[in-house]
Amino acid sequence: MDNALTIDLEEWYHICTAVPDPLTPPAGERRLRGNTGAILAILERFQVVATFFILGSVAEAEPSLVPLIAAAGHEIASHGWSHRLVTTLQPEEFRDELRRTGDLLEQQCGHRPIGFRAPQWSLGPATPWAFHILREEGFRYDSSLNPLPFVGERRGPRTPHRLDNGLWELPPLTTASPACNLPTGGGWGLRFFPGMLINATVRRLNRGGFPAVIYIHPREIDPAGPRLPLPLLKGFAAYGPRRSVAGRLTMLLARFRFTTMTRLVDQWDTVSSSRRTTPSHSSPR
Ligand SMILES: [Zn+2]
């Protein structure tokens, strides 16, 4: 069973609402190239291809990165341009971000992205127009709906499903628990929860015929990198525990099969998808 490994390619300071303007970098050493190289080396070691959701402004500042990632066979997808929350954009600003990023990524790797992930899962019921714009702009899938309290729809579907307008939605991995879903698929949760719990969740999903979607950020592989001064809770979510995510990544790559998001969507588009279109309450726990 194929799962999907995704990397949100952004700088260390792209932590939503933590900087006044994500397009104006704070002082601090740039380590994205080295961190991306470290991730690519791990993927090469395990002979795995992944999906990179790339921030347009980062691709512009580091023009060698996208060709390097694409040459290794990975998928180039869009993380928007500025890293502003979609909820703070007007519909036409959102469309402009998609087009500007799509134009640049196409110029750098030879084809337009067909997948999108919003900064901090900021796409959902408050931005219904965004799903239509994604479709109009040629996107085939989105990975922005995280079924968690505070950052998403806490009771939203945990497994891939098709939206009314034909867009595939691929939520990140979560573990169901009596109180709420746990963020085991990325961020602080992937670094914090026991490996046994994460592995068991992936196995359970796969047994039910569903892929797990894992996500990491380059800054998470670099615990010694620059840090923003953040309030306690936000600091914990961004940096704590401070250990590198590399251990968790290699744990998963050694146990499970991974591929790109587009290859998963291609598989579903070629088979009858009746079971996968009714995901919400039949999802495995
Ligand atoms: Zn991001």
Q: Which residue has the higher pLDDT, 223 or 107?
A: 107
Ligand 1 geometric centre to CA of 121 (Å):
9
Percent of the chain with pLDDT over 90: 74
Task: State both tokens at 56.
Answer: 């347009």
Ligand 1 geometric centre to CA of 271 (Å):
32
Ligand 1 geometric centre to CA of 80 (Å):
9
Ligand 1 geometric centre to CA of 7 (Å):
9
Ligand 1 geometric centre to CA of 16 (Å):
7
Ligand 1 geometric centre to CA of 8 (Å):
6
Ligand 1 geometric centre to CA of 63 (Å):
18
Ligand 1 geometric centre to CA of 175 (Å):
22
Q: Which residue has the higher pLDDT, 16 or 202?
A: 202
Place of tokens 């998609």: 98
Query: Residue 283's pLDDT is what?
Result: 44
Ligand 1 geometric centre to CA of 135 (Å):
21
Q: How confident is the model at residue 279 (pLDDT cuts 50, 70, 90)?
A: very low
Ligand 1 geometric centre to CA of 15 (Å):
7
So what CATH class is 2-277? alpha beta
Ligand 1 geometric centre to CA of 206 (Å):
27
Task: State both tokens at 265.
Answer: 């969507």
Q: Which residue has the higher pLDDT, 273 or 142?
A: 142
Ligand 1 geometric centre to CA of 54 (Å):
9
Q: Which residue has the higher pLDDT, 276 or 126?
A: 126
CB within 8 Å of 220: residues ≥ 6 apart: 191, 244, 245
pLDDT in tens, 203-218: 999 999 999 999 999 9
Ligand 1 geometric centre to CA of 76 (Å):
15
Task: Please check whether residue 252 is in contact with residue 198, taking contact to mean a CB–CB distance below 8 angstroms.
Answer: yes
In whole angstroms, give the CA distance from residue 185 to residue 183.
6
Task: Please check whether residue 211 is in contact with residue 3, taking contact to mean a CB–CB distance below 8 angstroms.
Answer: yes
pLDDT in tens, 77-114: 999 999 999 999 999 999 999 999 999 999 999 999 99
Query: Residue 190's pLDDT is what?
Result: 94
pLDDT in tens, 137-183: 999 999 999 998 878 888 889 999 999 999 999 999 999 998 899 99
Helices 91-109, 128-136: crossing angle, 10 deg rounding: 40
The structure's pTM equals: 0.92
Q: Which residue has the higher pLDDT, 31 or 16?
A: 31
